[in-house]
Amino acid sequence: MADESRTVLEMRHITKRFPGTVANDDVDFDLREGEVHALLGENGAGKSTLMNILYGLYHPDEGEIEIAGKPVRLGTPRAAIDAGVGMVHQHFMLIPVMTVAENIVLAEEPTHGRAFLDLREANRRVTEISERFGLAVDPKATVQDISVGQQQRVEILKALYRNADILVLDEPTAVLTPQEAKELFEIIRGLTAQGKSIIFISHKLNEVTEVADRITVLRRGKKVETLPAAGATEESLARLMVGREVLLRVEKGVSHPTEVLLEVEDIHVFDDRGIQKVRGLSLAVKAGEIVGVAGIDGNGQTELIDAMTGLRKVAAGTVTVGSKDVTHDSAFGHFHAGLGHIPEDRQRRGLVLEFSIAENIALHDYRKAPDSRFGWLYPRRLVQRAARLIREYDVRGGGPATPGGSLSGGNQQKVVLAREIDRNPLVLIAAQPTRGLDVGAIEFVHRRLVEERDEGRGILLVSLELEEILSLSDRILVIYEGEIVGEYTPDATEEELGLAMTGGGRGQEEVA
């Protein structure tokens, strides 16, 4: 936008060290009035550290910050808010049982005589700012009843209510549907038109080029470059982020599906609270194909995966792996029937963080020869296998004895991948296999999944990232409220899928 406009924020020579790493190394960052400045970088590049410094959560070891031309010391979030900085976290900080207005005015409530909450005034003020900035919300609605996209608006309004001029949006589209993301971009344009300045943190290249005016790329704690968004391509940005050429498109040939390896028939699954999450769902995965399951978070994907992998009771229906009925088997039974499972949450489930890489790789097979015999473990054999897989899968940052927890996210995922694939499973269930990974690691995981498909495994990919589903899958199933509501070919558009994901595509199945 306007290049001559006033600079509202200037961060100079910011350095922040943590034991063992330099999270920010002499980083400069500035923000002009009315612009969207995207902060781009892989995980661990230092984006969040920089923004947490701006929000008063961390103190920089070196460097200075100026807001509206005045040097400031942001010791606490309170100081940052007072200086006009608002932050919308990736995970919302809202109280679900309170109303929209109550959440927005929280800690700065209008009162009668400093003692009694003036709800009418709160509703009035919320309505006023929501109209002024074009963020339609119902102030009296309870937060838990509104959609994720609306909750995000509430977060933005919360910042605006506190007179934020600088808004930090941390990966704001991660939780949104494509349609909601479009609406968010409209909101962002509206805000900048009214003079607000926005820092947009993301690792999604297409969004950044769409919404930002300028882009700053961080890599390993250092600023690589600040460039105007006009003229930047996804390829050039990826190269800046990773430091080398990256293949953004997955290269894959035509699939040649053969026999059915995973068959789920009419299963019903309940969650921990006894609410039915999967309602009579059926699907089949054949050898040599990648089947993608697209859907918005919370539509039964987690329960479906758990039920298919023996981690949750199947109330009705059957699950067959190969030719074996494993419906009522434990996770152990599933693994030994030929299932591989890349879990949704590698820190909570995929790895024992305190275990060494060697021990983590032995997780499914430590009770069998050659890992052990008659209950006696042979650690050296564990180490040998780990050493081989570390080489094969290019795991960096440690050897067989390194604890899983000290690896980066991408390398942790490589360990999980190595373990699951090396067992030579018939079917691989990959749940959000690239969540939180950086571009380089995503490329690795995607390539590997396609290779395994070509090896003749069946792969079920469950992901919240539509782009990932579209670029990897040979067939796409859309899950909505615990049911498969449509099957699509990979040339379906994001809009088509997005509509089906929100229940709009019901009934109009388009079978490949």
Partner 1 sequence: MSDLETPSPTDPSGLGPEVRQSLMGRYDLAQKAGGLLAPVLTAVLAFFVGGLVVFATTGKNPLATYRAIFDGAGFNWFFPWVTGLERSNAAANMQQTLIITTSLILTGLAVAFAFRCGLFNIGGTGQYIVGAVLGVWLGSSFAGMNSFLHILLAIVAGSLGGAIWAGIAGFLKATVGAHEVISTIMLNWIAIWVGVFLFGLGGPLQNDTQTYVPISNDVLDSAKLPVFWGDPLLQGLHVGFFIALGALVVFWLLLNRTTLGYGVRAVGFNPEAARYGGISVPTNYFLAMAISGGFAGLAGAIDILGWQFRLATGDVQGVSIGFVGIAVALLGRNTAIGVALSALLFGGLLTGTSTRNLDPEIFKPELASNLTLLIQGLVVLFVGADIIVLWLMARVRRRRPA
Q: Name the residues that contact partner 1, by CB under 8 A.
A: 23, 43-44, 48-49, 52, 57, 89-91, 93, 272, 302, 306, 309-312, 330-336, 341, 343, 345, 347-355, 359, 362-364, 366-367, 372, 375-377, 379, 405, 436
Shortest gap between Cβ of 233 and partner 1 (angstroms)? 27
Integer Cα distance of 314 and 327 in angstroms: 7
Query: CB burial class (10 A; 0-12, 13-18, 19+) of residue 348?
Result: exposed
Q: Which is nearer to partner 1, 1 or 93 (CB)?
A: 93
Cis peptide upstream of residue 343 (ω within 30 degrees of 0): no
Within 324-396, strands assigned E span 324-325, 339-342, 372-373, 376-377
Shortest gap between Cβ of 335 and partner 1 (angstroms)? 5
Q: How far is CA 398 from CA 366, 393, 407, in A?
A: 21, 13, 7
Q: Which is nearer to partner 1, 78 or 189 (CB)?
A: 78
Shortest gap between Cβ of 171 and partner 1 (angstroms)? 9
Integer Cα distance of 9 and 37 in angstroms: 11
Q: Which is nearer to partner 1, 34 or 295 (CB)?
A: 295
Q: Which is nearer to partner 1, 310 or 498 (CB)?
A: 310
Q: Which is nearer to partner 1, 24 or 123 (CB)?
A: 24
Shortest gap between Cβ of 353 and partner 1 (angstroms)? 5
Q: Which is nearer to partner 1, 372 or 471 (CB)?
A: 372
Shortest gap between Cβ of 332 and partner 1 (angstroms)? 3
Taking a C-beta distance cutoff of 8 angstroms, is the pair 76, 56 a contact?
A: yes
DSSP one-letter string for 42-87 = -TTSSHHHHHHHHTTSS--SEEEEEETTEEE---SHHHHHHTTEEE
Shortest gap between Cβ of 362 and partner 1 (angstroms)? 8
Q: Which is nearer to partner 1, 165 or 306 (CB)?
A: 306
Q: Which is nearer to partner 1, 341 or 475 (CB)?
A: 341
Integer Cα distance of 428 and 140 in angstroms: 46
Which residue, among 457, 511, 465, has the nearest Cα to 484 in the 3D structure?
A: 511
Q: What share of the chain is helix, strand, coil (3-state, %, to 5)?
A: 35, 30, 40
Shortest gap between Cβ of 384 and partner 1 (angstroms)? 16
Shortest gap between Cβ of 369 and partner 1 (angstroms)? 11
Integer Cα distance of 376 and 357 in angstroms: 19
Q: How many CB atoms lie within 10 A of CB 3?
A: 9
